[in-house]
Every structure is written in structure tokens, then in C-alpha cells.
Structure 1
């Protein structure tokens, strides 16, 4: 009796028992080949670099500090060499000036002698011999001529010596000026290298600190003011780091009780002063303020800095850009004499 059509189709669609192992082996081989092809074509998955530990950072800091100390030593050595070159160049210029003065005096005297010869104002031997007269007077005249010739010869020799001394002084002054330029250039290179290395050391020190109260999602736990400064731990950390790195010789003002809608009464803001009495800061202090603001921007997310105000502009961590503020009517009110830093 023939099998039902559906059963026949079912048996035809399934591999026989003998064919199943062969098909399975083929599938494994195809999978292996496909895996190899994909591995060759697709890039390897990126792995995040492990965050350096505090111990590793401290070890790197120690090495950087040692290197920077060596650079500072070299810098001071270059300063001493530069100062010696300055002194040598100054001495050479002084010798040149003295030689030039003698040279000019001798040149004047020789020109006077030449004029006397040319105009006949000075006696010569032929004139004296042809003049006749008393033999004693003639001998006296000859002695005078010999004396004048000897004097002229001495002046010529002296002039040659002065001329040679002037030339030597000129060459030495030129050489010393070149040496001075070279030592100055080397000094600036060493200073620049040392300053960059010191900045690297400071950056590594900053990286050892994290703002307290940072949540895993990047937000910050609210904090209460504490301590004699009446500022939060987060603000205290920023204040400490700015003071250690930039010194801020005109003082730091943080908590104040006046409720002005800002963070000062909440202990979450500090002003880093660049002058006193509302005066405009000097160019050097303005540059210090620029460096403080740049540092705060660079470390904002890690230290919980919310915004910075400086020179009638405000930078907020949400926008990551400066914008101009309205005129508040004064140097201090417009923050020209201090950067203001607020934290979360």
C-alpha cells in the first residue's frame, strides 16, 4: 500500500541517518572558515585602557619631579653662564671704547704731523744743511731734526700698536656678543623645557584628586558647608588646588552671608583675587587669572566645577563655552579683578 503523500514529502525533506554526520561536519567547517574570514576583515574589539592607580601616579610623579629638578639645575647653570657672557661682553666693549679713544688721539696727532710736513712748517735736513751759518747752530738744528724724526717714528709705531689693539678689541667684542646671544637662546630653551615639565608634574598632581560626592552617573551628591571657611568639601578641594598651583597673592574670598542668589552663601563659590581695592590687575595678574580659568575648565567635570566667571564672561560646564555677561557697573562686579569658581 503506498504511503500517504504528506508522509512521503516528510521523509524526502529529512536527511537520512547516514547523511546527518556528514552535514554536521560540513556545518562546523563552514563556521570555522566564516569565523576566520570575519576575524581577518573586522577590527579587533577595542579594550579601554585601565585607569592608573594612585600608586602608579605617585611613582610617575616622583620620576617627573626628579627630572624637573635636573632641568631646573641646568637652567640655573645656564643663567650663570649667561651672566658670565654678559660680563665678558661688557668688558670687551669697554676695552674697545678705550682703544678707540687712543686710536682717535693718535690719528689726530699723525694728521697734524702730515699737515706740518706738507706745508713746510716743520724743518727738514736738506733745508738745514743748505742754510749755512754757525757750525754749532747747524749741529743743534741737526739734533732737532733727528729728535723730530725719532718722535715721528715713535708715533707711527705707537699708532700701529693702538690700531692692532683696537682691532683685537673689536674682534673680541664681536665674539662675546655672539656668545651672549647663544647662551641667551640656550637659557630660554632650558627655561621653557623646565616650565613644561613642571606643568606636567602639576597636571599629574591634579589627577590624584577627585571631587567628593561624585555619583556613578556623573552627578554630584549635595553637600553642606563645613569648617571655619563655611564652604563645602568640594569647594575646599578646588580652593586648595588653585592656591597650591597659582599662589593667588591677593587672597581668596569664599563664604559670605549676603543672599544674592549665588553660591557664596551656600559655601559653593570662591573668588580668586588679582588686585586690591577694586583696581584693575596688572598684565601679569591678568595672565594668572587666565591660567586659573583655563585650569578650572580643564578640570571641571572631574572636580565638580559648575561654572566660571571672569572678565565679564561666564563659562558653564553644560555648554562648554564662554558667553558675554551684561555690564554690572564696576571692575569687581564685572569680575575683571578675579575669576569666580562655583561648584555643584
Structure 2
């Protein structure tokens, strides 16, 4: 076949295949990922800064809370020791008084004062019991004093640890303020009200969050993987009544979605729409953002973005501008990032 004829024919076949493919493929739902700018808005550097500031705050807060718990336990332990010390000190005083009172009566003279061999043996046994008792009382007193000193030292250590973590919290707040300065015009009223009702996610014994990877299947249409803590948050959101379309994992790019640590919740009933939510859709988003903020410490939420506002644990609600589109400004979906 001549080359000039073959080229138009191949082009025609390719176009026909595309048309047929489009007709045979399912017409996907109107719930695609938000169009336009990345869901967090702003630059990669901004997202990394927000992540570091929120993560650092959560870690410092967990260490601070754990130190306070240890201090409470140590203080209670010290009080118990001090009560014991009162009794042991009184017993030691009795030993001292008795030693003073019987100071001129040596063990040898007490034994020689025995009337007969049987009395001698009884007196010897009594002396041994008294010696053991008095020695035990003094040992207990010495041990209790040492234990009290260790408890006081440990309490002082916890106070220093708390001062350290308070300083860390202040630094992470400054970091968050600096990161937000490029996209925020200052504090905002946010979305107040609501209550904390979510079932807490599992924590380590010291109150910190366990390290998790993208290891469980993403149940949303986004497919892919998410972390167990993200799945728990998603399940709790649904249990609280937030059952509209949600999308979590997103391959490629940066931010929390590729790591399985973020979910987007559509405001509209039918899924993501490239329009700013109003009316009932706006009320739904307001309620969800409020719920996420109130349950952040229970679920391990780092920050929430909704309707040109962002909430972080160390800054509260702040005005937020992601780029102007409904997706970038988060006026068509609520974004939740997880620790």
C-alpha cells in the first residue's frame, strides 16, 4: 500500500479506536480527585513546613503529657515514703533512747546478771532479737531516706523535661506561624462548637503515637494504601455521620496523600465539584471540620483545611489561601492530614 494512503488510513483507525474505547469505557462518577492545584495548596516547601511544625508539636505535647504523668506518680510515691519515714524515724528514736537509757548496762553485764544457765540463755536470745530488730529499723530508715532522695531527684528531672518540652512547643508554634505567613492573613473565627466523641486511636504506653506505614488497603475509590491510623479516622468519621464521598491515597506528588496519611472529604453530596460549597454543602463541611478539630488529639490529626481556613494544634484556626480555585482553597472539600 502506498505510504501516502497508509498514513491517513492509520490515523482514521486510531481515531475510530479512541471513539469506540470512549463509548465502551464506563463513564466514571463525578467524584474524581479535586481539579486544579494540589489539595493542600501552596508549595512543596509549605507542605513540608506545615508537616514538620504540626508533627513536632504533637511529639512535644506527648512528651510533656507523659512527663506530667510521671511527676504525678513520683509525687504520690514520695508522699508514701515520707509517711513511712515518720514511722521509721520514730522507731529509730526509740532505739536511741533505749541505747542511752541502757548505755551503762552492757550485754556482758546483762548476761552475767542472769540467775541460772536457763536465764542466761533466755537473756542471750533476747539480746539477739533486740539487736536484729534495732539493726533492721535503722536499715529501713536509711533505705527509705535514700528512696525519698531518688524520688525527689526524679521529680526535679521531670520538671526540667517539662520545661524543655514547653520550649519545644513554643518553637514549633513559631515555625508554624512562619510557614503559614505566606498563605495566611492571620487568625480566624474557625468553626467552633461540637464535642469530642470519636473512639481514640491506639497509642504507645508512654502516650506517643506508634510509627505507621502505608500498610492497609484504602477503602475509598482512590484505591492504594493508607496507614492504620488514617483508616481509624476514616471509620470514625463515617460513624459520626460523615458519609459523603471521600478520597484518601493519591500516588505521585508530595504531601500526605502519597504516604496514606491524608483524606479529602467532598462537601457536595455527589462528590467533588469544581465550585465553592454553599448552603447545606457548606454546613456539612463546617460540621466535619469542627468534628476533626475537636477529635484531633484522639485520632492523631495534624491539621485540617476547609473553606480558606486551616487548623493546627499549635496555632488554632488561621485564614488560608491555597491558590484561588475551589480545590486549592479547599472550599469544595475538607482536607485532613494525619500524624
TM over 0.5, yes or no? no
Q: Find the structure with the greater CA-based Rg.
A: 1
TM range (shorter): 0.3 to 0.5
Higher relative contact order (CA 8 A, sep 6+): 2
